[in-house]
Amino acid sequence: MDHSSLAGRIFRGVALALVLVFFMFPIVWILLMSFQTNEQILRIPPHILFEPTLANYEALISGQLRTAAGNLEISFMRNLMNSFVLSSAAVLLALLLGVPAAYAFARFKFRLGESIAFTLLSFRFAPPLLVLLPLSLYYQELGLNDTYFGIVWVYQLIALPLILWIVRGYFEDISPDIEHAYRLAGHTWREAFTRIAVPLAGPGIAAAGLLSFIFCWNNFVFALILASADKQPVTVGALAFVTASGIQYGQIAAAIVLSVTPTLLLALYAQRYLVEGLSLGAVKG
Amino acid sequence: MARLELDSVGKAFGAVHCADGLSLVVEPGEIVAVFGPSGGGKTVLLRMIAGMFEPDDGDILVGGRSIVGAPPEQRGVGMAFQNFALFPHMSAQENIASGLRAKVGSGEVASRVTSISRLLKIEHVLGHMPRELSNGQKQRTALARALIGNPEVLLLDDPLRNVDAKLRYEMRLELPSLLRRSSAAVLYVTQDYREAMAIADRIAVLINGRLVQVGRPEEIYARPASVAVARLFGDPSINLAEVTPQAVQGALCAEIAGTRVLLESDERTPVDHGVCWLGVRPDDLVIARDFGEGAIPARIVAITPMHERAVLLLRFADGTEWLAALPPDAMVGSAEDSVFVRFAPDAALLFDRATGLRIGPQQRRQAA
């Protein structure tokens, strides 16, 4: 970069700062809110300086919500755990199903192949609310309502198309000759898949897995309808803070901080793979 | 070791015939170059043998056993790819070792990798990843990987295409002895007739999915089966003129740009064949300042000095343009000079104008 003039550098600094403030402000504000009581939050005008309190976090972790109307049981930590279990299981299942499927779509031309791939992608087009009503009826009939497996299954609507289409691009970018060379050396196609294709598509698989984990984590509406309180993830669990005696802004903020932290840490840790992975797929080698 | 047999192999993609009744036998220890213009079906042929495509008809046999329908890993075929196809996530050492099909101990693997890499002069880069290797080293690594498993059939898909000129010359010298060491039946695909002539025992000329001619390099050079083959061998390529050969006083003659030239003939040459192509290689033309019998008057249009010889563009009285290639010390004149062009009767090749097939004497002098 050769923008060495002083004005140019200042301008870039200011522009970067503006962008940063724009994107970071809600997160910073929520972080601040999570250390305030409801009264402090609702003060007008708002104060930047305040006496921080850990009461919100205490309430979340102990599961006791004290309100004007009395004590409420909340299962936030359980919701958090549910989010982990559901998202991880959904992504694992989607990887197990999606990576081999992506390989098949990338390598083999078969009848209706493109149509099937597109149909799978089209699951992402339909608004979830559209499918929820029939889905909940079927689930009730199948006994899948309010089961972990039922939710993991419905999360495949989110994770599977994403993984399928991202990973397929990576497999297509690997020269088939590389796999042919491995097979000619006396290895079966299964070995060529596990030792050549999957490692080479690794960054893409990691990126797709991470993205679908985040999408699953952030999902709200499927679990709201299809699961009861003890199976619900944190996104739905946060509704518990809208109580009869008012909205518990402090606890909501603390809950958001706690629920965002895992995905944020994961994204920061995997950022390298994410950027490398997504851009590698974009440029044909 | 086993011989490779192709028995009227055919393959079409839609309306395009990539292979049309290909029959060829490669003996163990023999190197056959598959040579032809791009799009002629060379790579498809290799890939059918390697098992990436199956032929539509015909059979492929290794050691008398059909390999059609067998998965690639069970064919006993090794292959070096034009784009190297190294495994990017494995070191050169692991790449080469992956080519060992037999399950052997790790000590045995290491010693065989070491010996093959010493042979190919890459033992100092064994620990490197493919992206850290030069193209020459990549190519040698790919070759080592194909050779280490002692395949019965070795397929080389234009292995020198992506390496620099100096290395290409070196490898042309080294490859034949290296390949013979393995005593595999070798099919070597190339688009460079010089490479084919330098490396191969025999050359199979593949044009539009058909084997037009199979023979020893000097045979094909001296007695090309058709105009198309003659054009492919030689740089600059062969000069052609449209002639109608006639018998004059018992000898076969043809008229080029108004000059009557003598042609070689024997009892097999039909005297009244009709319109033919007459081909003379640029190296066989002799340029002189003085008129002589059978000498065609010409004007030098341009002279291109090439490293070891000069190429002259000549124009005859009727506008026909021919090229002559001369050693620099045989140079006469300069551009715009008028000269006379001659060639020996046995240097002229006659081809049927309609079919492009060569006609005339079967016995020819050897190529220089």
A170 in contact with chain B, both atoms CB, cutoff 8 A:
no
CATH code for the part of the protein at B239-359:
2.40.50.140
Q: Does position A282 have pLDDT exceeding 50, yes or no?
A: no
DSSP B40: S
Query: Which positions in chain B touch A199 (Cβ < 8 Å)?
Result: 89
Residue in B301, B344, B295, B304 with CA at minimum distance from that of residue B326: B304
Tell me the per-residue pLDDT of B214-249, one tens digit each, with 9 for 90 and over.
Answer: 999 998 998 898 999 999 988 888 999 888 888 877
Q: Is the ipTM of this complex over 0.85?
A: no
Task: Name which of A188, A189, A196 is nearest B87 (Cβ-Cβ).
Answer: A196
Tell me the per-residue pLDDT of A93-124, one tens digit each, with 9 for 90 and over.
Answer: 999 999 999 999 998 888 888 888 888 888 77
pLDDT band at B368 (very low <50, low <70, confident <90, very high): very low
Nearest chain B Cα distance for residue A195, angstroms? 10
Angle at A195 between CA A194 and CA A198, to 5 degrees: 55
pLDDT band at B365 (very low <50, low <70, confident <90, very high): very low
pLDDT above 90 covers a percentage of chain B that reads: 14
- CA distance readout (Å), A170 to A116, A124, A182, A202, A277: 19, 20, 18, 9, 9
Nearest chain B Cα distance for residue A29, angstroms? 45
Q: Does position B116 have pLDDT exceeding 60, yes or no?
A: yes
pLDDT, position A103: 93
What gap in Å lies between CA B38 and CA B191, rounded to an integer? 7
pLDDT, position A174: 87
- CA distance readout (Å), B120 to A76, B30, B86, B286: 65, 20, 16, 44
Nearest chain B Cα distance for residue A171, angstroms? 14
Query: Which positions in chain B touch A186 (Cβ < 8 Å)?
Result: 73, 100-102, 149
Q: What is the mean pLDDT of chain A?
A: 84
Could you tell me which chain B residue has the CA closest to the CA of A191? B73
Under a CB-based contact definition with an 8 Å cutoff, are residues B17 and B208 in contact? yes
What gap in Å lies between CA B343 and CA B287, rounded to an integer? 9
What gap in Å lies between CA B271 and CA B44, rounded to an integer? 42
Residues sharing a CB contact under 8 Å with residue A112, sequence separation 6 or more, in sequence order: none
Tell me the per-residue pLDDT of A79-91, one tens digit each, with 9 for 90 and over.
Answer: 889 899 999 999 9
pLDDT, position B366: 42
pLDDT, position B239: 92
pLDDT, position A246: 74
Residues B87, A183: C-beta atoms closer than 8 Å: no
Question: Is the peptide bond preceding residue B236 cis, with omega within 30 degrees of 0?
Answer: yes
CATH 2.40.50.140 in chain B: give the residue spans. Answer: 239-359
A200 in contact with chain B, both atoms CB, cutoff 8 A:
yes
SS (H, E, C) B190-216: ECCHHHHHHHCCEEEEEECCEEEEEEC
Nearest chain B Cα distance for residue A183, angstroms? 5
Residues B71, A188: C-beta atoms closer than 8 Å: yes
Residues sharing a CB contact under 8 Å with residue B176, sequence separation 6 or more, in sequence order: B31, B198, B199
pLDDT band at A228 (very low <50, low <70, confident <90, very high): confident
Residues A186, B73: C-beta atoms closer than 8 Å: yes
Residue in A56, A60, A58, A66 with CA at minimum distance from that of residue A78: A60
Under a CB-based contact definition with an 8 Å cutoff, are residues B335 and B261 in contact? no
Second CATH level (architecture) for the domain B4-226? 3-Layer(aba) Sandwich (3.40)
A178, A179, A184: which to substitute to probe chain B, counting the most B Cβ within 10 Å? A184
pLDDT, position A285: 37
Query: Which positions in chain A touch B75 (Cβ < 8 Å)?
Result: 184
Task: Name which of B51, B78, B85 is nearest A177 (Cβ-Cβ).
Answer: B85
Query: Which positions in chain A touch B51 (Cβ < 8 Å)?
Result: 183-184
Q: Does position A3 have pLDDT exceeding 60, yes or no?
A: no
- CA distance readout (Å), A56 to A37, A47, A66, B31: 8, 18, 10, 80
Q: Can you tell me whether residue B29 is helix, strand or coil?
A: coil
Task: Name which of B83, B88, B145 is nearest A185 (Cβ-Cβ).
Answer: B145
Residues A185, B100: C-beta atoms closer than 8 Å: yes
Residue in B59, B62, B55 with CA at minimum distance from that of residue B41: B55
Residues B83, A189: C-beta atoms closer than 8 Å: no
pLDDT, position A198: 92
pTM score, two decimals?
A: 0.77
Nearest chain B Cα distance for residue A176, angstroms? 9
Cα A256 from chain centroid (whole Å): 14
pLDDT above 70 covers a percentage of chain A that reads: 92
pLDDT, position A283: 41
Range of lowest pLDDT (A218-222, B33-37, B263-267): B263-267
Q: Pairing relation of β-strands B286-288 and B338-342? A: antiparallel
pLDDT above 70 covers a percentage of chain B that reads: 94
Nearest chain A Cα distance for residue B130, angstroms? 12
Tell me the per-residue pLDDT of B311-353, one tens digit each, with 9 for 90 and over.
Answer: 889 999 888 899 988 887 766 677 788 888 888 888 888 888 8
Could you tell me which chain A residue has the CA closest to the CA of B72? A184
Angle at A170 between CA A166 and CA A172, to 5 degrees: 115
Range of lowest pLDDT (A149-158, A275-284, B77-86): A275-284
pLDDT, position A90: 95
CATH 3.40.50.300 in chain B: give the residue spans. Answer: 4-226
Residues B81, A177: C-beta atoms closer than 8 Å: yes
Q: Mean pLDDT throughout A51-59?
A: 83
